[in-house]
Amino acid sequence: MLVFPNAKLNLGLYITGLRPDGFRNLESVFVPLPWSDALEVLPAAKGTETTLTLTGLPIPGEPATNLCKKAYELLAADFDLPPVQMHLHKDVPIGAGLGGGSADAAFALKALNTQFKLGLAPEQLESYARRLGSDCAFFIHNQPVFAHSRGDMFEELDFALDLTGTPCLVVYPGLHISTAEAYARVVPRAPRHDLRQSLREPMATWRDTVSNDFEEALTPFYPVLGDIKQQLYAAGATYASLSGSGSAVYGLFPGFSEVPDLTWPAGYTVWSGQL
Ligand SMILES: C[C@](O)(CO)[C@H](O)COP(=O)(O)OP(=O)(O)OC[C@H]1O[C@@H](n2ccc(N)nc2=O)[C@H](O)[C@@H]1O
Ligand SMILES: Nc1ncnc2c1ncn2[C@@H]1O[C@H](COP(=O)(O)OP(=O)(O)OP(=O)(O)O)[C@@H](O)[C@H]1O
């Protein structure tokens, strides 16, 4: 079975408090971004080892610590799974705030559930996904949603947020920002705005009312993040922001038939397309 784990963008992100488990509570709206890895899961012969081979962008750490492998082990602890051969082709940058590794994990859970007819409902898959990482659960339903708690609990949006077809440019400056480091730099506080209220309004107002707490905390250390955002606005973006804990910055260009063709320094990776 071949699946294509896509990335996500955060529309606004407020870090509201430190939790007793050491994680932070947050509020954000997650939307799928069609920038994808490719993951193949094939049954392997009985008595062989489960394997994971990798191509594409290098992933730090041993393959044994890869979230695809962890997803397999999590289900193998509860179900009589045969060994599998997995292959991951990595295209979504790591340490980018795009949730790429989390998507791989969630799509591995979904693929194993389908391939081996485990019969897990989406809510059960979500609870397995939560055990692999805060962002993972989102990728089970993979639909625009308001996220809270650790970023792993969801409420449906009670207004139409249809960004389908919106031209989008995502710029990754080649800077791996670890999620833990990024959180350590933010002091939790009350949300600056009511996110769901802000997102109901026309996108032109979001620049003043939809923000990401990581952006304010990280830009003094990584001024390039501010430079990219400024360039996206100068090119005509209606809204631009850091995604998640960075370092990817995205711009939305509704009203453009195509995303403007901008030039970026060597070492940057750019994705453009429609949401
Ligand atoms: C920044 C976001 O991408 C926003 O969607 C996510 O919150 C990150 O989620 P993630 O990459 O799945 O993160 P995890 O693997 O669960 O946690 C990595 C580290 O980030 C910090 N962390 C993560 C999520 C959260 N709500 N509070 C935290 O403090 C913790 O130090 C944790 O050890
Ligand atoms: N399939 C995978 N893809 C990417 N990273 C993985 C994967 N499996 C395990 N990892 C580990 O996760 C780390 C990346 O996590 P990190 O949270 O920094 O970045 P991220 O995947 O871009 O996620 P986020 O968007 O949530 O910040 C890597 O250093 C790597 O060791």
Q: What is the pLDDT of residues 19-50, one digit of tens each?
A: 999 999 999 999 999 999 999 999 999 899 99
Domain 167-274 is found in CATH 3.40.109.40 = no
Cα separation, 155 vs 148, in Å, equals 8
The verdict on the CB of residue 212 being under 6 Å from ligand 1 is: no
Into which CATH architecture does domain 2-156 fall? 2-Layer Sandwich (3.30)
Beta carbons of 47 and 41 less than 8 angstroms apart: no
Give residue 63's pLDDT band: very low, low, confident or very high (50, 70, 90): confident
Half-sphere exposure of residue 116: CA atoms within 13 angstroms, side-chain side: 21
The verdict on the CB of residue 231 being under 6 Å from ligand 1 is: no
Q: What is the pLDDT of residues 91-118, one digit of tens each?
A: 999 999 999 999 999 999 999 999 999 9
Q: What is the pLDDT of residues 140-198, one digit of tens each?
A: 999 999 999 999 999 999 999 989 999 999 999 999 998 999 999 999 999 999 999 99
Q: Looking at the CA of 30, which ligand is closest?
A: 1
Ligand 2 pocket, residues with Cβ under 6 angstroms? 59-61, 65-68, 88, 94-102, 104, 135, 178-179, 244-245
Spot the catalytic one: 37, 91, 104, 135: 135
| Dihedral-angle region of residue 165 (phi above 0 means left; psi in -120 to 50 means alpha; beta otherwise) | left
Domain ranges of the chain: 2-156, 167-274
In this prediction, residue 83 carries a pLDDT of 97
The single-letter code of the amino acid at 140 is I
The single-letter code of the amino acid at 261 is D
The verdict on the CB of residue 180 being under 6 Å from ligand 1 is: yes
- Supply the ipTM of this predicted assembly: 0.95
β strands within the chain, DSSP E: 2-3, 6-18, 24-36, 38-43, 51-56, 84-90, 145-148, 153-155, 167-172, 239-242, 249-252, 269-274
Of 40, 35, 111, nearest to 71 by C-alpha is 111
Measured from the Cβ of residue 190, the count of other Cβ atoms closer than 10 Å reads 7
Spot the catalytic one: 8, 69, 70, 110: 8
Q: Is 8 a catalytic residue?
A: yes
